Structure 1
Amino acid sequence: MSTEPIPALHTRPPGLLQLEALGAALPLAPACDHFYFLRHGQTGRNAQRIFQDVDEPLSALGLQQAARAAELLAGEPIRSIVCSDARRALDTAHAVAVPHGLTPAAQDMLRERHFGALIGTSSAAIDWACEPEGGETLAQFVARKHRALDAALGQPAPVLVVAHGGTLYALAAMLGVPVDASVLGNAQPLRFERTGTTWRAVPLQGQLRGESALA
């Protein structure tokens, strides 16, 4: 989504139940039995808990996190990488693509939710059900994510999606996967696996210390 507000890892932000309900009403049914997801590395505004725009770069820590994620994903059989075209996600995607010899396909539909007039203000009290002036409603955002993720997961498998915290919330809701602190960190690679019709998200090893709780 175009700004990435993920809350403190041990709290559930207001409006999250509405997001989950909207996502559950738009289920995804990928043909694959597994794929990968990576939230981008930390940015300066992540650390400051400020709504950010698409041109926000990775911080020094975010670059380290992206490099570590590349190491964790290097041995995985990834055939396609699809990413948000927001700078923080695109730069993370390019870092993890190197070991695979792949070029990430950037898609604006995978951006973080557009929070309009809230960009540049504090995201510490993010309410996902808000309707920001000049931005997306929650329903518009979830519908966009469904289209973007359905297209991304239709690429040659296994696919790696590199995007944002809000994308992860929506994806998990659409697959019926619980979200907890173990999957929300910046640049934490996740393997989504299907057994029958049931999906689960498995973090790949560990993550760097110091990651932000904001998307």
Structure 2
Amino acid sequence: MSQNAPTHTPAGGLDRLVEIAATQPLAPACDHFYFLRHGQTGRNALRIFQSVDEPLSELGLQQAAHAAELLAGEPIRTIVCSDARRAFDTAHTVAATLRLTPTAQAELRERNFGALIGTSSANIDWACEPEGGETLTQFVARKRAALDAALKQPAPVLVVAHGGTLYALAALLGVPIDVTVLGNAQPLRFSRSGPTWAITPLLRHVDGASALA
């Protein structure tokens, strides 16, 4: 891996992420499932790469509670979440309303950005190779395995994870990503018609959609 911090471009490297995902797409047997990015954290607001123990902010806690209300009417049977604190706590807020117990998986964590953690993510380049972190190829492979396992659980499944997970998931399913679906704690329904997947937001936030978990 490079010893130097990469040169970032806004949301750079997503074309490369799509190329990597297309070499081994995800093909879940289910015809629909749900995805929820965690609520906002203090470092989300500041656009800083985060560690796994970053907690939800007060706004993030409110967003998680609102997401729980929106998902309460959905026929969710299983919740699988990242074990990073921000996703874990969001999942448990939703789970309390749905009367379910989430299963936490380390493999669903956000990409490990290594030496970049604690620095600005404002001009993130997903194709970077951060010192001590994951390459994009490693990240996509990990996410594919984790999502494949999650979506084999009793359906419908709710996956609670990160912005990077959402980018990878959309690419693995061949769904174009739109910044309007990237908001914190914005519930999404993924549904399949034949081989084609689509994303339907159950909520649109007006507080801005930071594209990084």
TM-score (norm 1): 0.92
Partner of residue 124, structure 2:
126
1:154 and 2:152 aligned = yes
Q: Which stretch shows the higher mean deviation, 166-175 or 199-208? A: 199-208
Partner of residue 198, structure 2:
200
Answer yes or no: is the 8 Å Cα contact 2:162–2:212 preserved in 1.
no
> Equivalents in 1 of 2:14, 2:141: separation in Å?
15
Give the superposition deviation at 1:65: 0.5
Describe how 1:56-75 pairs up with structure 2 within 5 A. Answer: 56-75=54-73
Read off the aligned partner of 1:175 and give its amino acid letter.
L
Give the superposition deviation at 1:23: 1.2
The structure 2 residue matched to 1:181, chosen from 179, 182, 191, is 179
1:109 and 2:107 aligned = yes
For residues 13 and 211 of structure 1, do their structure 2 counterparts lie closer, same or farther at Cα, with a shift above 3 Å needed?
closer
Partner of residue 36, structure 1:
34
> Equivalents in 1 of 2:73, 2:206: separation in Å?
19
Partner of residue 167, structure 1:
165
Answer yes or no: is the 8 Å Cα contact 2:111–2:134 preserved in 1.
yes
The structure 2 residue matched to 1:51, chosen from 29, 49, 52, is 49
Partner of residue 5, structure 2:
none
> Equivalents in 2 of 1:21, 1:83: separation in Å?
26
TM-score (norm 2): 0.93
Unaligned runs of 5+ in 2: 1-8
Answer yes or no: is the 8 Å Cα contact 1:46–1:213 preserved in 2.
no
> Equivalents in 2 of 1:195, 1:64: separation in Å?
34
Partner of residue 3, structure 2:
none
